[in-house]
Amino acid sequence: MSEQETLNPGATQEETTENMETLLDREALHVKVPRSGEIRKGVVVNISPSQILVSIGTKSEGVITGRELESMSEAERASLQVGQEIPVYVLRAEDANGNALLSYRRARDYLAWQQVAEAKARDEVIQTRITGYNKGGLEVDVFGLRGFLPNSQFGSLRRAQASGEGAEERWKQWVGETVNVRILEFDRDRHRLVVSERAAEPSRQEMKARAIASLEEGKIYTGVVTSLADFGAFVNVNGADGLVHLSEISWEHISHPRQALKVGQEVRVKVLSLDRENMRISLSIRQTMEDPWRKKVAHYSRGQLVEGVITRLTKFGAFARLEEGVEGLIHISEISDQRINHPKEVLREGEVKTLRIIRIDHEQRRIGLSLRQVDSAAYADKDFKLLAQELRELEESQGSQESPSESPSGQA
């Protein structure tokens, strides 16, 4: 059966022709005729040196040719493939051959400016790429558009890194790098697009919140001293300043942080506490180092007899120096078996006394001493063993000193 008969088996030739025209007209109603100035989605159907054919849903293809094709870079042309969907701008609805004249670049630029407007309206941080520089700053690629990043809008780190005489010496190093920016201002008609890296940087509060979130109590980190005060030092760790109290700077006694630290110095710190609500960080430098006091008292033990110089008398007891940097306390209850009201009733500053170690507190760096327990029966066995050891060591020492040396003739 012919197509004419399918349309209407009983129709005449004239009626069939009329029906065909009506059908074609009806189908044409569903085809949206392109209009100059509109953006359409098209599919690349053919690429040749002289033109690019793009299907835009009409009876004939649209064409990218002439100046539009010549203005496209080799990279742009190479990026297009047959079957690829691309946006196109209708320059003219129909040329002499009945094809729509299209522009790929104008469509991309139009959509890019739309993205710029939306990013500006949302105050959005966007990632761009540095493509060049001039005497005033850097050129960046923003959604395919050329943007300008003035040197006054560089981020803090970039400002610190900028050095040299001319723009090339200062800024050439950054070409090809990515940079986060915010849209500062734009004018589509004048093709003006200015961005700011500085405006895209997080605020100090945001940086501190992020830093605190990245830290853990009890862990050790590397930081940099940022400032010194009478009460301690501030150290920047992961982008936020924490306080190292004066007492946590050194194991040795210091009266001011400058005695141990200087601004800009890199230090290791231990996180003592994190107050996330008030965004406070408490740090320690001394707890990252071995306590020299522990090394000094390593040869002391509980129950050991020692000699100490009485250095100070107080209401609650007396302090005795065992060696340089090692001092212990004789509590008033450990001075005498008799009740006394003040240590001065038994002791005098500067005198040397034999004392017994009754406690060693490594955490508090304290040694407890006793005068009254020197002759304690409870430690008699320990005292005997220590005395025997000292005698052996003395004999060995004397024996080595008295060992005869050989004479040149081989006789003692």
Give the model's pLDDT for residue 330.
Answer: 94
How much is the pTM? 0.46
Would 192 be classed as within a structural domain?
yes
d(CA 271, CA 284): 7
> In the chain, how many domains are there?
4
Both 149 and 181 in a single domain?
A: yes
- Quote the Cα angle for 283-284-287, to 5°: 145
Would 405 be classed as within a structural domain?
no
| Backbone angles phi and psi of 128, in degrees to 5 | -125, 175
Both 251 and 306 in a single domain?
A: no
Q: Which of 374, 381, 342, 344 is nearest to 358 (CA)?
A: 374
Would 33 be classed as within a structural domain?
no
Most confident of 46-50, 160-164, 254-258: 254-258
Would 351 be classed as within a structural domain?
yes
Which residue(s) pair with 270 in the sheet?
220, 284
Find the Cα–Cα–Cα–Cα dihedral 131, 134, 137, 138, rounded to 10°: 0
Give the model's pLDDT for residue 402.
Answer: 58
Would 2 be classed as within a structural domain?
no
- The CATH number of the domain holding residue 134 is 2.40.50.140
Is the confidence at residue 85, as pLDDT, over 80? yes
Both 327 and 262 in a single domain?
A: no
- Chain-centroid distance of CA 244 in Å reads 20
Both 138 and 157 in a single domain?
A: yes
Give the strand pairing for 39-47 and 51-55: antiparallel
Range 377-383, long-range pairs (CB < 8 A, 24+ positions)? 379/303, 382/303, 382/304, 383/305
Would 13 be classed as within a structural domain?
no
Would 43 be classed as within a structural domain?
yes
- The SS3 assignment for 138 reads strand
Share of the chain above pLDDT 90, in %: 39
d(CA 194, CA 56): 35
Both 282 and 301 in a single domain?
A: no
Both 188 and 138 in a single domain?
A: yes
Of the candidates 270, 288, 306, which is a domain's last residue?
288
CB 226 within 8 A of CB 271: no
Strand residues in 265-393 grouped as ranges (E) = 266-275, 280-284, 305-314, 317-323, 326-331, 352-361, 366-370
Give the model's pLDDT for residue 313.
Answer: 94
The model's pLDDT over 166-194, given as tens digits with 9 standing for 90+, comes to 666 778 889 999 999 999 999 999 999 99
Of the candidates 52, 75, 105, which is a domain's last residue?
105
Which residue segment(s) compose the domain that 265 sits in?
Answer: 204-288
| Cα Dmax for the chain | 151
Is the confidence at residue 18, as pLDDT, over 60? no
Both 256 and 228 in a single domain?
A: yes
Would 21 be classed as within a structural domain?
no
Of the candidates 179, 200, 221, which is a domain's last residue?
200
Q: Residues in the chain, how many?
A: 412
d(CA 393, CA 95): 114
